[in-house]
A and B are shown apart, each in its own frame.
Chain A
């Protein structure tokens, strides 16, 4: 079983992101369970959503406490909420930011994680470019597909189109593709550095 936790704020599509991830996994023939953190939802409040993916029926109903992957939609949460709580040292982490980790003041937080699995992507900027709105959820899923390879970019695109019709869907698919390319390039650079 692979468990993903998504952090963001009300209005940023955090719950939808988990749902889209589960749709993409379902599309690829897997079992998936997506659910929100059940708060009193309101704009701007910290929100958490979860997605489990497995090759067999998922029975467990507890929140994801030791995620295999973290997606951080809003980096301003990093100093407010224990975003990394329970995250496995070999876990995958994708943070939506145009800044570096040190610039975010995260150097200390993330030093124990494997650097090639901890990436940033300017998903809000990409979303604004392709959809006109800085809602980064779909773009981040494209980036996540590149980072972990658990679900394909095609499955993410189909999930986005199933949920959002017309130009909204197409714009988000384009943002997801751009984020996928961005993360894939980042990973190539890293492996180049590692091998060279």
Chain B
């Protein structure tokens, strides 16, 4: 049914349509609306049978999800930012044990400095945790990806993270198609676990493995993700047949066929990028975009097939790998091994800084003329940065960066505190 609804609400309803049996969560912005809505659906009996477990931390949330999944229950949780970091150890256990948990990450920056706004630092920090990572471009895709994620996770017996931009998507109210229960039931079969903890037929899960077999067990997690490279497009095609919508898949190209410049990005910024590309096309600039939906597994061949014909690639990413620059761009370069292309990394939108069409227009125009630095920070105020660097150079006890910069930009009162 077509409805005007908040992204978080729509995701909660999509998750409920997947009939999870255990939902555990600890509230953290901007994910909170999703689990609030789910707890309401459980409380009112609209989602049944399902146990909603309020836990004491994100570490507990993932631990409960692991326990539930190991007993054969379809398990779901959601988190963001520091919450994702707090469950890191359990994340690796979920993937290492091969438990098909589905989790929403409502992408948010990581402190310090503390910041509740959107970027991709949180999920990018867990890119090698063994979880499949799918990034939603729109709220429609976010809710569709959750339905696909349960099927993908359970077919492979591996966990899947659905990443959606915090606030930008989670708190946006827009026109969304919410599927019917029968449609989802026909698409997503009941969970048939590969391994079950059952008191009637006792087994153990989670054996210690020494050097004699550790590499082989670890490799199998990689093998599953390589299988996912085949399965993700198949599930997206099935989804399109069942629901009539293009959602998911490995990557999606936009006006890229004859493009000399191709912008690569993940998530909701692709909408603004596409509008900017339309403007530049009007001006005669041959530019296109590639949205990466599946960041893990990394679709190297698909990326190479689209980017290989371009003259330059601009990777725009919402996370900063401190000490080197881009994360997505390093992965894209791997896909382009042996191909000579101008490659630019653009760090944008950290901590919720708005990525505007005006800034992208300037950026892409500069890129098309090869006027960009290899590593560019979109809309960075270099005067502010340089003044702080000067203070640090002049004074040993220059104080904390965050407080100094806030005083500089006028957010807090000037002068000593």
B171 surroundings in chain A (CB, below 8 A):
35-36, 38
A31 and B171 alpha carbons, distance in the complex (Å):
17
Could you jot down 20 A-B contacts, CB within 8 Å? A19-B6, A22-B173, A23-B173, A26-B3, A26-B4, A26-B175, A32-B4, A34-B173, A36-B171, A38-B30, A38-B116, A40-B116, A58-B174, A60-B271, A61-B272, A61-B355, A62-B355, A62-B356, A62-B357, A63-B354
Pick from A31, A33, A40, A60: contact of B272, CB under 8 Å: A60
B269 surroundings in chain A (CB, below 8 A):
61
Pick from B3, B116, B173, B352: contact of A33, CB under 8 Å: B173
Tell me if B175 and A38 are in contact (CB < 8 A). Answer: no
Interface assignment of B167: CB less than 8 Å from any CB of chain A: yes
Chain B residues 1-25 with CB under 8 Å of chain A are 3-4, 6
Interface assignment of B268: CB less than 8 Å from any CB of chain A: yes
Measured CB to CB, the closest approach of chain B to A28, in angstroms, equals 11
B168 surroundings in chain A (CB, below 8 A):
35, 38, 61
B335-368 near A? 1/0 per residue, CB < 8 Å: 0000000000000000010111100000000000
Interface assignment of A42: CB less than 8 Å from any CB of chain B: no
Interface assignment of A111: CB less than 8 Å from any CB of chain B: no
Find the B residue at minimum CB distance from A36: B171
Interface assignment of A190: CB less than 8 Å from any CB of chain B: no
A171 and B357 alpha carbons, distance in the complex (Å):
41
Tell me if B272 and A22 are in contact (CB < 8 A). Answer: no
Chain A residues 48-68 with CB under 8 Å of chain B are 58-63, 65
Tell me if B174 and A34 are in contact (CB < 8 A). Answer: yes
Most buried by A among B117, B168, B171, B173: B173
Measured CB to CB, the closest approach of chain A to B115, in angstroms, equals 10
A33 and B176 alpha carbons, distance in the complex (Å):
11
Interface assignment of B301: CB less than 8 Å from any CB of chain A: no
Tell me if B173 and A35 are in contact (CB < 8 A). Answer: yes
Interface assignment of B286: CB less than 8 Å from any CB of chain A: no
Tell me if A23 and B167 are in contact (CB < 8 A). Answer: no
Q: Footprint of A on B, CB under 8 Å?
A: 3-4, 6, 30, 116-118, 165, 167-168, 171-175, 268-269, 271-272, 274-275, 352, 354-357
A36 surroundings in chain B (CB, below 8 A):
167, 171
Tell me if A23 and B4 are in contact (CB < 8 A). Answer: yes
Q: A22-B174, A32-B4 are in contact. Are A59 and B275 (CB under 8 A)?
A: yes
Q: A38-B167, A40-B116, A65-B356 are in contact. Are A59 and B172 (CB under 8 A)?
A: no
CB < 8 Å A-B pair total: 66
A40 and B355 alpha carbons, distance in the complex (Å):
20
A132 and B172 alpha carbons, distance in the complex (Å):
30
B275 surroundings in chain A (CB, below 8 A):
59-60
Q: A33-B172, A58-B174 are in contact. Are A22 and B274 (CB under 8 A)?
A: no
Find the A residue at minimum CB distance from B352: A38
Q: How large is the interface on A (under 10, 10 to 19, 20 to 34, 35 or more residues)?
A: 20 to 34
A36 and B167 alpha carbons, distance in the complex (Å):
8
A136 and B316 alpha carbons, distance in the complex (Å):
41
A50 and B354 alpha carbons, distance in the complex (Å):
14
A34 and B116 alpha carbons, distance in the complex (Å):
20
Q: A23-B4, A26-B4 are in contact. Are A62 and B272 (CB under 8 A)?
A: yes
B355 surroundings in chain A (CB, below 8 A):
61-62
B271 surroundings in chain A (CB, below 8 A):
58-61
Q: A23-B4, A32-B4, A38-B352 are in contact. Are A59 and B175 (CB under 8 A)?
A: no
Find the B residue at minimum CB distance from A30: B175
A113-130 near B? 1/0 per residue, CB < 8 Å: 000000000000000000
Chain A residues 109-159 with CB under 8 Å of chain B are none
A23 and B356 alpha carbons, distance in the complex (Å):
25
A33 and B171 alpha carbons, distance in the complex (Å):
10
A19 and B171 alpha carbons, distance in the complex (Å):
10
Measured CB to CB, the closest approach of chain B to A88, in angstroms, equals 15
Chain A residues 7-22 with CB under 8 Å of chain B are 18-19, 22
Measured CB to CB, the closest approach of chain A to B372, in angstroms, equals 21
A32 and B173 alpha carbons, distance in the complex (Å):
8
A19 and B175 alpha carbons, distance in the complex (Å):
11
Most buried by B among A22, A33, A35, A40: A35
A18 surroundings in chain B (CB, below 8 A):
173
Pick from A35, A40, A65: contact of B172, CB under 8 Å: A35
Find the B residue at minimum CB distance from A16: B173
Tell me if A38 and B174 are in contact (CB < 8 A). Answer: no
A27 and B269 alpha carbons, distance in the complex (Å):
27
B117 surroundings in chain A (CB, below 8 A):
38
B173 surroundings in chain A (CB, below 8 A):
18-19, 22-23, 32-35
Measured CB to CB, the closest approach of chain A to B140, in angstroms, equals 10
A22 surroundings in chain B (CB, below 8 A):
4, 173-174
A61 surroundings in chain B (CB, below 8 A):
165, 168, 172, 268-269, 271-272, 355
Pick from B118, B274, B356: contact of A59, CB under 8 Å: B274
Pick from B30, B174, B274, B352: contact of A32, CB under 8 Å: B174
Q: A38-B117, A38-B352, A59-B275 are in contact. Are A33 and B174 (CB under 8 A)?
A: yes
A40 and B19 alpha carbons, distance in the complex (Å):
33
A34 surroundings in chain B (CB, below 8 A):
172-174
Find the A residue at minimum CB distance from B360: A62
A19 and B356 alpha carbons, distance in the complex (Å):
22
A40 and B352 alpha carbons, distance in the complex (Å):
12
A59 and B254 alpha carbons, distance in the complex (Å):
13
Q: A26-B4, A62-B355, A65-B356 are in contact. Are A32 and B272 (CB under 8 A)?
A: no
Tell me if A32 and B172 are in contact (CB < 8 A). Answer: no
